[in-house]
Structure formats: structure tokens, C-alpha cells
Structure 1
Amino acid sequence: MGSAPRSSDVPVRRPIKKLLIANRGEIAKRMIDSARELSIETFALTTRDDHGHALGAGHIITVPSSRSYLDIAHLVDIVRHHSIDAVHPGYGFLSESPDFARRMWEEAGAVVIGPGWAILERTGDKLAAKRLARQCGVPTLPATEKPTSHLDDVRRFAAQIGYPVMLKAVDGGGGKGIRLVRQESELESAAKRAMSESPSHEIFVEKAAIDGFRHIEVQIIGDGSGRVRHLWERECSVQRRFQKIVELAPSTMSDRDFVQSIVDAAVRMAEHVKYLSLGTFEFLANSESRDLYFLEVNPRLQVEHTVTEAIMSGDVVKAQLEIAQGTMVDDAVARCFASDPRTSPKLKSIQLRITAENVQSDWSLSIGRIDGFALPSGNGIRVDTHLLPGQTNIVGSDFDSLLVKIIVTATTWEDAVRKCRRALDDTLVSGVKTNLDVLRAIVAHPDFEAGTCDTSWLERRAAPLLASGLELTKALESKRAPRLVQSTSSSSGSLTGSSNAAVSLRKGDAWALKISDTSAAATPQTHHFRLTKVIRNEFPALLRAEAEYSLPGSHAPLAITLEATHSTASSGSVMAESKHRQGNRDNPRHVTIPFPGKLVEFLVDGGDLVQPGQVICVVQQMKMELEVRASAGGRVVWITEAEDGEDVAEGTLAAELEEVNEDAVQGEIKSKL
């Protein structure tokens, strides 16, 4: 059957009484729900700004910051203090960390839900997983045998196998730490960014398989005895920069014999290591050439597990928890596991990821407060979200942009696509920008309806899809009742609003403000303030108005113009209030940061000469590092005073250039080489 982990490396399977949910967002809520149905006491982690996912948890533990979710020592202390016997990391870096699983057991006596550290070492590391695939006779793409942090190694292998190549973090996940390099000139910058997104700062190089290939993954579940079941396949070909956007089950490939070969490859690998718990085995597949290449193993729960649950009418999280307590795989999924992959499942399911992203600005994270939202319902529609009605829902730069997952299920693919369109029409989110426009365009496109999209489809058609999405949304809004559209920025109406939605302010509203020095026994002085004109009211986030202001003892009020932006203790720097100089995007001499995030590093100094397209600085969003480039060449005459690690708002001026003679620029640059 293959080499199995030693018994000492396999997690102890025992009843779970207390479960720590070591994650946030919709997946934390999802895990809490399944644990509650098994009568398991749950402990949720929250930060001061982010707690919607904890609804339903038995206990809530507030941690100092977003970094605490990845702080193994801190999590071990929590488990010890509360006598917790199991931890579920959901998905993310910790879910694939052998060190986390081992330390939690050795230092706190708690089991991490998953395959255990021995299997994680063979599957979570991408190069180790490739070696496993080759041992099992599964084709892989040419790749380096060892990880590296040296650019010369990367350059040498890329030249050997030829471009295009993929650079991948050996321990990356969720599309992070991956860069496609089409030519040698892109290599250095791409390698640096991929390494920076890898916890180990090591990457490997792989020959790229792009056009015509689909992303097919097989859901596996095992009980550690060698008994493994597949729960059909999923397709995740609609993606951008290796971030999945739309997922479906089963695949739309009509050649079920080819699908069977993919499923068989996954089962063969899982049986070889006597896989325990949930795992996803991912492949690139070309249905025309019938080429098949193993990509990686995700030894954990996946974001898109929902479509698998839909077509099998089961609960994979509950099955995962049952197996962790000793249930055998056939009992955990007795009524719903697949037997013959050549026969397509009777149900078809599609998941749509709604994210807080500004797709018109290179899909950058949209930071702010969600003022209101409306989500779809009805037969065959499931919604997974951590957003709560009547609560402050904040999107910040520290966490993933995922807001809502809409999962539709029908008996035919055509009905599922139509249901997607209706569900998206019924969805509204206000306060932050989202990818709803492009989702509407995707499900309306003939290629999607025909089920012919490959992994490069969205990138190839990005511009027309964005334009089509805007038109679809515009047409949709023109058909909606005016009061419904207006209520997207209000807590009233049929939308679910935030408890902090705009306060009603109008001309003539006045306040008497008593202000005193708290450090001395002083008599409070009264200041008078009256609004004379309200220009824009999104209070407390933003208020622009004209007013009269009277100082104590004065006879004539001062006429003032007020523009107030607000960053509260609950939102911290999340609102990305701009305190730095703003750039003019129409000015080619301004290098403007097009998205909010954290400033990672500045790569130029005052007086430097730069070329068009040169990287000026790097900004981090959701653990991904994004480059800000100059649109024109010139000499740097000013750089922002923002410091590394500081939050910067969209539109912040990073650098200002002055025009210089082109020959002088080229000459000075060459002289430095």
C-alpha cells in the first residue's frame, strides 16, 4: 500500500470536548456551526475590530492583533490555559504547518484537526508532494529538485527549461507566493516577491503549463488506515493571478474517462501515504491533448469545499471532526461517497466568491466600513458569510478580502448558471467596492455557460469582462426600485445595514459644546456650532459641510467649511484615513499608490533616476506584496514621509519625478551598471 507514517506521528484519535477555532471570517463560522451540531464546546478568536465570525461560539477570546492568528506560541498558551483538547485551523498557513501540529501536541497535548505532521511534511511542502506524485506514477511538470533563496539558481534553471516558468513558494498557499514569468527581464522582481510571500523565503521553479489547461482538484478523505474515498472532483479554472474566483463541482469536462484518470491519480497518492482527514489533490488537465500534470496537495479544508458538500448532500467539516475522533471513513461519509467517477454526479454546484476588491484598480483591496448589504436566498442557494446585520463590519488590510460565498446548486448545469445570475442580481454591498460587476460578467459570458474556460481565460478577457460587468450592473440598478438602491448606504429599507450607518444631519442642526481642561479645576466654556449647509453626509465616516462656529465670549460667529474624516478605536487604521500628500493620477510625474495597504519598502531615494515601469515601492495587502511602478521616467525630487509598516491610503503620493533628458537618464543608469 505504500509507506505510512509511524504510529507516533499520527494524531491521536479521541473524543473532542473543547475545540479552538484558530481562524476568522466565514470559515470560522462554518467550523463553529458543524462543531455545535456535534455538541463540541467551541472557542473563537477575535480582535477588537473583527468579531462577526464568533457568533454562535461558546467562548470568545480576544487576541491582541491579526498577527496572533499565526503566533504558534500564543495559541499554545491559549490551549493550555483553557484545557482545550483540539484545534481546527481551517485553511491558511497554519493548516499546512507540520511545526504547528507537532508543537500543539507536544507542548499543549492538543490535536490539530488534519492529517498530522508526518503527512503534512510529505504533502504540504510542494516539492515533497511532487516527489510523492512521481513515486505513484503521476506526471509532473519539470521543476527544480530543491528549494532555493538564490536568484542565480532560479535564473539558471529557467534558462535551462525555457520560458514561461512558474515561481512558487514551497510553503505558499491560497495563490500567494506564485508568479508567472514569461521572459527573463521579469525574473528578478518576480522572484523577490515570491520569496517575500513564503514563510521560509524559499521558492522553486517549474515549467509553466498555461493555455488550454484547466485546474481540476479531487477532494479526498481518509481515516489513516489506508482506506481512502474521493468525493468527486472540482474545477477552479476561473481564476486571476492564481486566486480562485469561481469554483464548480463536478468539472464541466465531458470526457469522464479522462476525469477518472485524474481521480484515480489522487486516490493512488492518498492511499500511498495512508492519508488521514480531508485533503485536496490538484492537477492541471488539458481535455483536448489529455495531458495531465500534478500540481500540489492542499492537506486541509478548502475554501471551495462547499460545492463538494452540495453535490454529495453532506457536511465535510463534520466528517473531518468525526474522523478525528475515531470514526472510520466509510461511516463518516457512508451515504454520500462516490464510487465510479466516470458517472457524473446528479447535482451541479457553483461557488461565487464576493470580495472587497476594486477590480477597476488592478483588483486592489477596498478598505472601509460596510454600510449595508443584501444577500440572495431561495431554493438551491446557500450563503456563507461572517457579515452580521446591525453590527459594524470593517474591511481592513490585515485580513483576506473574502466577504461572502454564494453557492448555487441545481440538477443541470444550465439551471445552475441561471440561478447564479439571479443570485448575483439579488446581491448588494455598499460602503466598499466589490467584484460583483465582474462576477456578473463571468456568469453571463457564453464561454462560461458552455463550460469551456481554462486557467488563462479570465486574464485574456479581463478588459471586456470588466466593461461588460459595469454595463450589467448599471442596467440592473436602473431596474431596481429607487428606494432599494438608495438604501445601500442606509440602515433603513430592505438592506441589512450597519448600526453605524450615516446619522441624519441637516441644515440648522446645532450643538452647544462644553469644553474644560481635565488637568485642572476649570469652569467649562461653551462653544456653539451650527450647520448651515450639508454637502456630503456619511457621518461618522465622512462629513462635509458649511457651518457657523462661535468661540466663548465672541459676538459674531465664524463661517467655516468642515471636512471631517473619521478613524475610530474600533476601526483603528482600517479606514485608511489619508494623512499623507495625495497624488494626481493624471500627472505622469506623480507615482501614486493605487490601492490601500501597508508600505513594505521604498526602493528609490531622492535624486535617483528611474525608468518607465521601474518599481518605486512595495505595498502589502492580505499578506501579498504588490509593486507600485513609475509610469514615466525622470529624477526623484520628492518621496513620501510614510514609513515602512505604515498604513497608506489609496491615492497616496509615493514619489514625485522631474523630467530630465532621456539620453541623460539612460547614460546615468548605464554608468551604474
Structure 2
Amino acid sequence: MSIKLKKINKILVANRSEIAIRIMRAATELDISTVAIYSQEDRFALHRYKADESYLVGDGKGPIEAYLDISDIIRIAIDADVDAIHPGYGFLSENPEFADQVIQSGMIFIGPTGETMRQLGSKVAARRLAVEAGVPVMPATEPLPSITEEKDQILKLAEKIGYPLMCKATWGGGGRGMRIIEKPDELLILAEQASREAAAAFGNGEIYLEKLVKNARHIEVQVMGDLYGNIVHMFERDCSLQRRHQKVVERAPAIFLDDKSRDFLCEQGLKIARAAKYQCAGTVEFLQDADNGEIYFIEVNPRIQVEHTVTDWVTGIDLVQAQIRIAAGGKIGDIKSSGVPSQKNIRLSGHAIQCRVTTEDPENNFTPDYGRLTAYRSASGFGIRLDAGTAFAGALITSHFDSLLVKVTSWAPDAESAMKRMDRALREFRIRGVTTNLRFLENLINHQKFLPADYTTSFIDKTKELFEFPERRDRASRLLNFIGNVIVNGNDEVKGHKLQTYSITPHTRKFAKKDPKDGTKQLLEKLGPEKFSNWMLDQKRVLVTDTTMRDAHQSILATRVRTQDLLSIAPSYAHCVPNMFSMECWGGATFDVAMRFLNECPWERLKALREAMPNILTQMLLRSANGVGYNNYPDNVIKFFIRQCADTGMDLFRVFDALNWVENMRTTIDAVRDNGKLCEGAICYTGDITDPEKTKYDLNYYVRVAKELKTAGVHILGIKDMAGI
């Protein structure tokens, strides 16, 4: 059989949450673009942001109905130029009409054909196929007639099989539409409940009755088929740990099976897959009577399973990537095209466990909790895999969808190590804001019967100690709890003791409330910039610039100290040190910090400081063509900015260029001179001029830059240290 490989360039994932993200990751690794869909209630869900494109589906419909809107999903796929659609699990994953419409629209459906779904998606039809294939089945009825109209007939059918019974939805999975019926007077009520639940979950309320094995293990075989008729199994998973028929913890392989039983089980799974001419990934589910070891077929799930992660790990096969490759024409046995080796080369390696972390409250009958995650810290480390949905700090958990937060999968060479690794991972989680089942899961995997798999499907319901939770020590926040307790209730250990108090009053120099003495500001106004610079050359004393308010202290001062704080000390400078040369109090990063972080006007700060220190030169840092910003600005912007600075009260402009490119500083220097202010040309120093081997930035280099600055018209030369001298 010759089938041409098709190139898939873009996949639409017709699902949500963790499985949607899982599929997108697999596609991305195959260099395939991804498209997500989301309902209005899922507009902030993580899966829509993990895709290359995302579109609202089912506008105006409910949160569940939106994901069941076949026509709108097809419309989005066509508009987005999609090559293939992956349904994930749940929603439309087992809907044959959806599969047919995808194919009729010219796209690839990543899953079994609609015909196969009709054959296997109905548990009753699948049971017929199993009988034809010679696979052991559980005694069961055909789909039940109308419960309201055919009560007597339903009671007779139940009596024929014998109580206890299991009522099951014909379509779908996940434990929905299932009820245990112990006696005749429960039958009609529970069957009606199961039918309504199935209709709400799968759009089909059809149900049937099956003989109940009370002491049963739940085992499932993973199968994979390609378009050429090749079908393989990937061994089994132990799914016996359930609550309300919903799987809680899954393991692979099932350690209670010996090689002979495992071979028999997997062969039964292959018989059904071959009889159905199965394509893509699917799961054949069985019950094993724990008392006698007999195995019975129960159903086929024609889709990827929630618990596929454990099979991924123990076989080393990426099931989702294999689905995509096979749908495009990849052949089993050709690892390059399909990612799946031949049956003889599929081997088990180690042991894997998956736990489903949910927002269910185990102390309140597992009622789902809803709200916002105020804190979320997940586990990690060797041998731990996380498949999360919308699980992050700030995420909103709603009542519209299932309560799954994250699937945690551990792997190790043996079952005990995998269990200990899972225990460690569960204890690492920190989730606040909603109740979770984490402590229940810890109790479950640490129970003495877990490791040897000494349990059945009723284990959780019958084991009360799983719900005994020791009080949490909460080491992460116990200090906060202690402080809060002391604030509210006080501390008996210090009650009645007078605490010593220490009060240190800072001593400040007193000065008369009058105009301060004249200083460098008045001298500049009298002499002008040129003569002022000559006056500086004539001075024998050191001229001091105070940098308390400058931007170089921004990390310890400027981001915390406001204009009001600076104005409180500014008059002291004017009166107590009138002979101060200048105050560097503005420009550079302080401009940005004042405006963006402190929400203050830097211009108002400059004006106020000028008034508070009328006798001392104000000084600023100016990044030449960058001004006080972080981009190059046009010349007219720089000129206007300098004029505004000068008019508002700035006297001395300390100008530099990070590369000592004097040509880049000329516009700034000229603008300062045009406004009658002092210009200090700052040379950026780096290197070591005392080292004769470092010749690039030697003394001659800095002398040359200084001469260029003097020629450009600066009044003062300065060194801006870039080397920590």
C-alpha cells in the first residue's frame, strides 16, 4: 500500500488547558505552527498564549458549548489555513461527525476515522466487536430504551444480568455517566442520573448496563495504528486507583502482571485494534478480577488519554508526536517518519507514576474549589514531568471546567524509586488561594498497599486513613504567622516589662532666617562664564562640589528620597557652606527617576532647589546628544532642553560622551554657551595610564581629548571615572 507523506505546516488544537499545551509543544518540536481556540471564559487561559495564533470560538455560547461548536471550529481552521486538527481528549475527540467534517473540509484529522469511532466510540458496539474478535467480555445489555417509557423492560434486562450492576454511558469516558447499582429500587433513579450526566458531558445520553466486578483492577493497553495497517501495542497502564470512576493515579507498567499475563492482555488489545482496522493512538480498557485473575474487555477510548504520559516515559515514545506523524503518513517501524519502532523494538524501561493535582477538597467529598491562585510553586528535578494547564500565580480557576491543575509524572528505574520521587515532588508544591488534593495524593502514594499494588478500584473509597491529614507545619510562612500572632495577641514573655527606648536627636547647626551670604552663583552672574573659569584657575584652595543629591547615588537615595526631603536640607547648604563651589542636584538618571518612579515633576524640583540655595551653583549631568534620556535626540530638542534648564535655574552643565567623541558633544557645548552658563567637559576615563603596556588609552590619548574639548569651548575640564579609580 503506497501512501504519500503529507506535509503538515499548521495544526489547530480543538481543546483547552493542559492537553492543548501538550499538543502544541509536540507540534512546535516538529516545526509545525499551532492554532488555539478559546471560549469567552477561557480568554485568560494559558493555552491560548502558548499557540502561535488563537481565536475565540463559539462566540455567545456557554463555556462548554463553545468547544463543541463544530462549524465554528471548522470555520476558524479554514480561515487560519490549517492543515490538520488535533482533538485532544474529551469535548469532540470521540465525535465521528467532527472527524468526518474535518476530512470533508480538506484537512487531516489526527485521530481514528469517523467510521472507527462509530464502531468503537459506542461501548456497546465495541463490545460486539470484541466478541467477534474472540476477546473475553463482561455480561452487558444493549443500549437501554427510554427510561421513562420502558421501565419494566429495563428492570427485566437488569435482572437477567444480575446485581450488582454498573450503569455506563455508551459514549465518552472520564467516569462521567457511570453509576453503581446495588439493587432494583436504585436502578431507574441512578440510570436517569447517569443519562443526564452523559448528555451534558458528551451530547449523548445513551447508557447501558454491565455486570459489576466488585473486586476489580482496571488495566488499559495503549495501541497505535498507522495508515498502512500496521498496529502495535505499547504495553499497559495500571489505572485501578479511582474515585467516582475517575482515575486519580496511574502507573506503568502494572507490576501485578507477570510476563505471561502481560503478553495475553496486550494481545487481546491488539485483536480488537486489528478487528477495527485502528489508526492513530487508542486505548483498549480491561477489568481484571482480582480474585481469579480473569480479564474482561470493557471499552475502547479512540483518542489520546490523560494518562498517556506514563507510557511516553516507560517506552521512550512521544505518543502525541507519533499521532501527528502517523496522520501525515508516517509508517510504524520507520522511526524517522512515525517516531514508532516495530513491535519487537518497543520495550519497557523503568517505572512511571502519574498524579493528577486538582482543586478538589478531599475533606469535603472532593468538592471542586474555585478562585484565584495567590501563589503557585511547582516541583521539578530529574525524573519529574509536569503537564500543567492554567496553573500560575494569579490564575483564575473557574467552575466552568474540570478541576485539574497539573499532571505530575515521575519516572525511575524501579517502582520504589519512582514512588519516592513522586512523594518528593508532591511535597515541593506550594499552591495558595484554592484547596488542592495534594495531601491526599501524598497519603495515597505513601500507603503501605500502594507500592506492591495491593489495591482494587474501590481502594480509595474503602480506605479511610487516606483522609487523615496531619496539621501542616507551614515552614514557609511560620515567621509571618508568629509576627501576626504577636501583633494581635501580644507576647506573654515580655508582658509587663518596660522596653528601653533610644532616641537620638540629630544636631544641626543653627542659622539666622535671613538671606545667605553671596557665593559662586553671584560670582558667575558678576563675571560671566569666561572670566569665572579664569577665577577658578587663580584659586589656591580646593573647590568642592557636593554630590549628595546627584544621580550617582540613585540606588541608595534618588529612588527613595523625594523633592520634599531634599528641600528640607537645601537651606542648610546655603547658610552653612556658602563657599561651596557647586551642588550637583539634577539631571542624569534623577530626571527619569523623579518622573517615572516617584511621580514627581523634575522641573519643579529644580526650581525649588534653586530658590532654596540662591547662592551656590547648581550643577547637572548631561549625556550630550542623549540629554537626560537613553536615545539620541535631534539637535533642536537638545537646544530647547538646555534653554529650559538654564531658565529654570541650572548654572553648570557637566557634559560627557560615553566614547569621548567630542564632535557628538559640540551641539550641547554650544547650546550651554549660548545661554550664558558654565560648561564642564567630562572625559570618560578607563584603563590604566600608569601601565606602559596599555597603549590604547594612555596619557597622550586623554591629553588629546582634553585639548579637543578646550577647542570646542568648554569652560572646565573634568574626569568622569569609568574604571573605579
Question: Above 0.5 in TM-score?
Answer: yes
Alignment of 1:261-272 (within 5 A): 261-272=264-275
Q: Choose the corresponding residue for 2:134, options 137, 146, 149.
A: 137
Question: Which residue type is aligned with residue 465 of structure 1?
Answer: L
- 8 Å Cα contact 2:143/2:170 also seen in 1: no
Match of 1:424, SS?
helix
Aligned residue in 2 for 1:442: 444
- 2:124 is the alignment partner of 1:127: yes
Cα separation, 1, equivalents of 2:432 and 2:339: 43
Cα separation, 2, equivalents of 1:61 and 1:484: 44
Cα shift readout 1:638-666 (whole Å, capped 9, x = no counterpart): xxxxxxxxxxxxxxxxxxxxxxxxxxxxx
Alignment of 1:43-62 (within 5 A): 43-50=35-42, 51-62=45-56
- Structure 1 runs not aligned, ≥5 long: 1-6, 487-673
Aligned residue in 2 for 1:408: 410
- 2:400 is the alignment partner of 1:398: yes
Q: Choose the corresponding residue for 1:115, options 112, 117, 130.
A: 112
Alpha-carbon spacing, 1:12–1:455, altered in 2? closer, same or farther (3 Å)? farther
- 8 Å Cα contact 2:241/2:250 also seen in 1: yes
- 8 Å Cα contact 2:253/2:352 also seen in 1: yes
- 8 Å Cα contact 2:445/2:451 also seen in 1: yes
- 8 Å Cα contact 1:149/1:195 also seen in 2: no
Cα shift readout 1:469-492 (whole Å, capped 9, x = no counterpart): x21xx25x3555636999xxxxxx
User: Matched residue pairs, number?
Assistant: 468
Question: Which residue type is aligned with residue 394 of structure 1?
Answer: L
Cα shift readout 1:471-518 (whole Å, capped 9, x = no counterpart): 1xx25x3555636999xxxxxxxxxxxxxxxxxxxxxxxxxxxxxxxx
Q: Choose the corresponding residue for 2:210, options 206, 209, 213.
A: 206
Alpha-carbon spacing, 1:75–1:449, altered in 2? closer, same or farther (3 Å)? same
- 8 Å Cα contact 2:197/2:205 also seen in 1: yes
Aligned residue in 2 for 1:629: none
Deviation at 1:269, TM superposition (A): 1.2
Aligned residue in 2 for 1:180: 180
The 10-residue stretch of structure 1 (380-389 or 263-272) with the greater mean CA deviation from structure 2: 380-389
Cα separation, 2, equivalents of 1:180 and 1:14: 46
Question: Which residue type is aligned with residue 422 of structure 1?
Answer: R
Deviation at 1:254, TM superposition (A): 4.0
- 8 Å Cα contact 2:250/2:355 also seen in 1: yes
Cα separation, 1, equivalents of 2:5 and 2:283: 21
Aligned residue in 2 for 1:166: 166
- 2:16 is the alignment partner of 1:24: yes
Match of 1:95, SS?
coil
- 8 Å Cα contact 2:391/2:405 also seen in 1: no
Match of 2:155, SS?
helix
- 2:90 is the alignment partner of 1:88: no
Alpha-carbon spacing, 1:188–1:28, altered in 2? closer, same or farther (3 Å)? same
Cα separation, 2, equivalents of 1:337 and 1:353: 31
- 8 Å Cα contact 1:306/1:407 also seen in 2: yes
Deviation at 1:372, TM superposition (A): 1.2
More helix, by proportion: 2
Question: Which residue type is aligned with residue 161 of structure 2?
Answer: I
The 10-residue stretch of structure 1 (403-412 or 255-264) with the greater mean CA deviation from structure 2: 255-264
- Structure 2 runs not aligned, ≥5 long: 483-725
- 2:363 is the alignment partner of 1:360: yes
- 2:188 is the alignment partner of 1:194: no
Cα separation, 1, equivalents of 2:5 and 2:368: 41
Deviation at 1:318, TM superposition (A): 0.5
Q: Choose the corresponding residue for 2:344, options 339, 349, 356.
A: 339
Question: Which residue type is aligned with residue 223 of structure 1?
Answer: D
TM-score, normalised by the number of residues in structure 1:
0.66
Aligned residue in 1 for 2:426: 424
Question: Which residue type is aligned with residue 329 of structure 2?
Answer: G
Deviation at 1:340, TM superposition (A): 8.8
Cα separation, 2, equivalents of 1:366 and 1:44: 26
- 2:478 is the alignment partner of 1:482: yes
Alignment of 1:252-651 (within 5 A): 252-286=255-289, 288-332=291-335, 339=344, 345-387=348-390, 389=392, 392-461=394-463, 463-467=464-468, 470-471=469-470, 474-475=471-472, 477-480=473-476, 482=478
Cα separation, 2, equivalents of 1:387 and 1:454: 32
The 10-residue stretch of structure 1 (73-82 or 275-284) with the greater mean CA deviation from structure 2: 73-82
Deviation at 1:286, TM superposition (A): 2.9
Match of 1:138, SS?
coil
Question: Which residue type is aligned with residue 142 of structure 1?
Answer: P
- 8 Å Cα contact 1:224/1:274 also seen in 2: no
Cα RMSD (Å) = 2.4
- 8 Å Cα contact 2:361/2:437 also seen in 1: yes
Cα separation, 2, equivalents of 1:337 and 1:253: 26
User: How much identity, in percent, do the aligned residues show?
Assistant: 37
- 8 Å Cα contact 1:93/1:173 also seen in 2: no
Deviation at 1:287, TM superposition (A): 5.0
Alpha-carbon spacing, 1:159–1:340, altered in 2? closer, same or farther (3 Å)? farther
- 8 Å Cα contact 2:386/2:406 also seen in 1: yes
Match of 1:354, SS?
strand
Alpha-carbon spacing, 1:483–1:47, altered in 2? closer, same or farther (3 Å)? farther
Alpha-carbon spacing, 1:12–1:281, altered in 2? closer, same or farther (3 Å)? farther
Aligned residue in 1 for 2:66: 68
Q: Choose the corresponding residue for 1:219, options 207, 219, 222.
A: 222
- 8 Å Cα contact 2:177/2:196 also seen in 1: yes
Cα separation, 2, equivalents of 1:389 and 1:458: 29
TM-score, normalised by the number of residues in structure 2:
0.62
Deviation at 1:256, TM superposition (A): 2.2
Deviation at 1:226, TM superposition (A): 2.3
Question: Which residue type is aligned with residue 478 of structure 2?
Answer: P
Cα separation, 2, equivalents of 1:418 and 1:262: 28
Deviation at 1:329, TM superposition (A): 1.4
- 8 Å Cα contact 2:96/2:114 also seen in 1: yes
Cα separation, 2, equivalents of 1:175 and 1:159: 24
Alpha-carbon spacing, 1:290–1:339, altered in 2? closer, same or farther (3 Å)? farther
Match of 1:281, SS?
strand
Cα separation, 2, equivalents of 1:229 and 1:310: 17
Alpha-carbon spacing, 1:165–1:287, altered in 2? closer, same or farther (3 Å)? closer
Cα shift readout 1:557-590 (whole Å, capped 9, x = no counterpart): xxxxxxxxxxxxxxxxxxxxxxxxxxxxxxxxxx
